[in-house]
A and B are shown apart, each in its own frame.
Chain A
Amino acid sequence: MSAIVILVLGLAAMAAGYFLYSKFIAEKIYRLDPDFKTPAHEYEDGVDFVPTNRFVLWGHHFTSVAGAAPIVGPAIAVIWGWVPAFLWVVFGTIFFAGVHDFGAIWASVRNKAKSVGALTGDVVGKRARSIFMIVIFLVLLMVNAVFAVVIAGLMMNFSSAVVPVWGAILVALVIGQMIYRRKMSLPMVSIVGVVALYALIGIGPSVPLQMPAEVAGVSGNAIWILLLFGYAAIASLLPVWVLLQPRDYINGLQLFVGLIILYGAIVLMNPTMVAPAFNDNVPAGTPSLLPLLFVTIACGAISGFHGLVSSGTTSKQLNRETDARFVGYFGAVGEGMLALAAILAATAGFATLADWEAMYTAFGQGGVNAFVEGGAFIIHNGLGLPEATAATLLTVMAALFAGTTMDTGLRLQRYIFQEWGEIYNQAWMKKPAVATLLAVGSCLLLAFGAGGADGSGGLIIWPLFGTTNQLLAGLTLLVITVMLVRLRRPMWYTLVPLVFLLVMTIAALLIQLRTFFEQSNYFLLVLDIVVLIAAIMVAMECASALKRSRAEMAAEQ
């Protein structure tokens, strides 16, 4: 089957979702009001609350939520064939992610731009808020560990990307200085930055830097993981304008350029889908599609992380309430497009089925490497770029996204540790350096604890990360549903996704529990149990909160 057909089908469905379904949700369920005074206007302070042009806000929201996760998840999940992954990404984006992201903005805007965490406390209850904190901490922990493993794997497999990836940091540092000290014009600096980044990508294949398989008794992979955490710790302590701000900006530009190149190459080459539609020849040890598919692809179908962005920063900058549909729902569509590109690259970018099967030898294999190799194959044949350059380009794209998420995640984790220091009166824990060390230490423990001393097996926790992420999404959907019940509006459009997510999450946790037990991986077994307890508590919280608000509504009548 031609990849263009899949591409067109996917894009058409998502466009229909945006133009029809989100319109219905905006008018009939959330009932957006163009005259509502948004927090950006009500509390305008020029710092956090700033009314922002909706296109700017969309760009900002989209680049914050789109990272490496919508690439890694779908690229792992195509092991069951491309149809299940494709359907979940498309329908997940339309009926789950869009409604969730859009709803999180709406809920926050209607409640003084509070974050979902605070809203859980206000709308659902104090207990739910504590669960929320724990779930957030687990998500951050896993995301940092997983992404360190992903980048380390990329650095080991694609040595041509080492120079561009680390060079990109240098480019960002220089750009930051150019803007703040030299006050140079931004369009000029943007062009210089992008050109410098692509020049680095161009020379990457001629200056490969291969980390030896073993250095002083430690595997090369483990060295990369340690280096990455060292970098992330320093980056998360630096003032944001030095590195984070210019790097995010360059990354955002790179995201659009990368998407255009990938989609353009697919259209020009028109590859055929090499991978089977439904894979009935999955490698031994692959868990069953149901329910694991729904936690393997989190970002790209629905992700709780988006709720944090939606309610944390986006809602404070929303100019008009009606903009929430464009920013939130279309942001989710953008992410769905990235996931779709990842699926196509990882299934159509191979010459033969045997090549594809050689890539997907076990569950958790393939993944982002398949995305890079498949994507490079398509770009090479579609645009005529040398395959090594194309592979470097995609590796840099994936590694930079993962890196950005890592140091943002580490920064957030540090805040949580500092907050705990505040709550429990531990002055030492409030120091940024100490809190950062604690955050790095806990992530390293997970990265190595999950996958052994070489840190290569860290992707085992990917589905566990997806599960925790879905729990977070469940909590956000719960807040929206309770708000809808109190407003006497239909709750099914958020309740059905919520119940579906909870059922799939708990089922996936139970299945993984058994797998970890059989593999006698007790470290992950314990982690699984922790997440499972959180999941059950979330489910019970949902039931009781809904029952309570429905009873309140009935009593009022």
Chain B
Amino acid sequence: MNDDHDRGHDPRLERIRAWLSQARFFAEEVYSSRYRGAIARARRDEDDLFMLLVFSEMMGVPNPAAYYTLELQPLLLERFHDWHRRMGMERSPLDHFKCC
């Protein structure tokens, strides 16, 4: 309501707020910076498995949910190039699905 109005009038409150948000930022940085890499890698591994599920039909692995995963393919297209490179395939493994 008149939140902005109050803030403008009480510099002390504003200073405390700024200080608190600064403290929060520092705490979060300290908490996350050390393991950011490890967590991102673990997450990527999970995503890679998902990629395999979505593109499995194209590589000859039958997938009962192919009808549904087909819909996801355009969404994952951007990540496809990085994925096949990471999986040790220089070029796209799919004939009709070129990206490089």
Contacts and interface: CB of A to CB of B under 8 A. Distances in A.
Interface stretch (A54-62, A66-74, A381-389): A54-62
A50 B39 CA distance: 14
Contact of A317 (B20, B27, B33): B33
B37 A244 contact: no
Contacts of A419: none
Interface stretch (A135-143, A148-156, A184-192, A333-341): A184-192
Q: Tell me if A's interface is mostly helix, strand, loop or mixed.
A: helix
A179 B31 contact: yes
Interface residues of A, number: 27
Contact of A52 (B29, B35, B41): B29
B24 A55 contact: no
A245 B30 contact: no
B10 interface: no
B35 A64 contact: no
B9 interface: no
Contacts of B5: none
Nearest to A49: B37
A46 B40 contact: yes
Given A186-B24, A186-B28, A187-B23, A60 B40 contact: no
Given A55-B26, A186-B24, A245 B35 contact: yes
Interface string B18-59: 001001101111111111111111100000000000000000
Contact of A185 (B24, B26, B29, B33): B24
A240 interface: yes
Q: Tell me if B's interface is mostly helix, strand, loop or mixed.
A: helix
Chain B contact patch, size range:
20 to 34
A46 to B, nearest CB: 7
A240 B38 contact: yes
Contacts of B32: 245
Contacts of A48: 36-37
A239 B33 contact: no
B27 A244 contact: no
Interface in A233-249: 239-241, 244-245, 248-249
A187 B40 contact: no
A244 B24 contact: no
B26 A64 contact: no
Interface of B: 20, 23-24, 26-42
18 contacts: A46-B36, A47-B37, A48-B36, A48-B37, A50-B33, A50-B36, A52-B33, A56-B29, A56-B30, A60-B34, A186-B27, A186-B28, A187-B23, A239-B42, A240-B42, A245-B32, A249-B31, A313-B37
